[in-house]
Structure 1
């Protein structure tokens, strides 16, 4: 019975460590994403300043909405490519 209790206690401690590690990783990821967001904001601001007077067509490329559109298009394309690859893969039956 003592062995079972010790095993349970060790498992509980490992579970706590894993949860703590996960929170630490999430916090680190949030910090990195916030830094990335700030850098993207700066790039978009500079692009807007540069192209506001010289090239209104390019000005639209420097909005967050336009950036999201481009990211979604690439993601959609990647999903379609992956689906085609899966569909084209030969199936084996035993």
Structure 2
């Protein structure tokens, strides 16, 4: 398990996937202001927000929720995805 909290993982996801908060709001159906409050740690992250992110990025569900990866079942982080792409091993388990 990594030492990042869920909000830090969301910020990494947005940066690695090059997603703006406007696009995040549009894709999740969660308001821009709600995401802004969550990302700035002004309010607590709700289950529904993690669930919405998991629907958009199913490969990141476990990492987003728990900070853990299980590449053998396709549960990775954005950093692992980038490393796989850089090495040309995306989609290859084990």
TM (norm. structure 1) is: 0.22
Larger radius of gyration: 1
Higher helix content, 1 or 2: 1
TM (norm. structure 2) is: 0.22
